Amino acid sequence: RKEVEQDPGPFNVPEGATVAFNCTYSNSASQSFFWYRQDCRKEPKLLMSVYSSGNEDGRFTAQLNRASQYISLLIRDSKLSDSATYLCVVIVNSGNTPLVFGKGTRLSVIA
């Protein structure tokens, strides 16, 4: 079983739609969680951290369910510029140990 699993998509949504991505992780000792964004043929970049209490950054909301080992990302009012691959990322232990990436979920926002 992969350490981090995501639905690869693609998710094709119209502008203005709300879309949610899910991610599950296998190691219950995982401590830190993040969403990265990767544009086509570009490098991944940190989008946001995921906190136990849930957190919001503008149109983006991230949530963590430790009991179910599940992370989500919600994007409201989708823009064309949101089209990218969204990577779920987990750190098992703190202290500069490697980040473990999921395969990513591809989003296409259509005019």
CA distance 28 to 35: 18
> Which residues, 20 to 39, sit near another protein by CB under 8 A?
32-34
Q: Are 82 and 90 contacting, i.e. CB atoms less than 8 angstroms apart?
A: no
* Residue 10 touches another protein, criterion: CB under 8 A: no
**HSE-up of residue 71 (Cα within 13 Å, Cβ side):** 33
The 8-class DSSP code of residue 81 comes to G
Minimum CB distance to another protein, residue 110 (Å): 21
Stretch that binds another protein, among 52-60, 61-69, 70-78, 97-105 (CB under 8 A): 97-105
User: Tokens for 39?
Assistant: 């544009």
State the amino acid at position 38 in one-letter form. Q
Under the binding rule (CB under 8 A), the answer on residue 8 touching another protein is yes
Q: Which of 98, 100, 86 lies closest to 7 in space, CA to CA?
A: 86
Contact between 79 and another protein by CB under 8 A: the answer reads no
Q: Does residue 76 interact with another protein by CB under 8 A?
A: no
Does 43 bind another protein (CB under 8 A)? Our answer is yes
Cα separation, 2 vs 48, whole angstroms: 22
Kindly state the smallest distance separating residue 49's Cβ from another protein, in Å: 6
User: Which residues of this protein are in contact with another protein, per CB under 8 A?
Assistant: 4, 8, 32-34, 42-46, 49, 87, 89, 91, 94-104
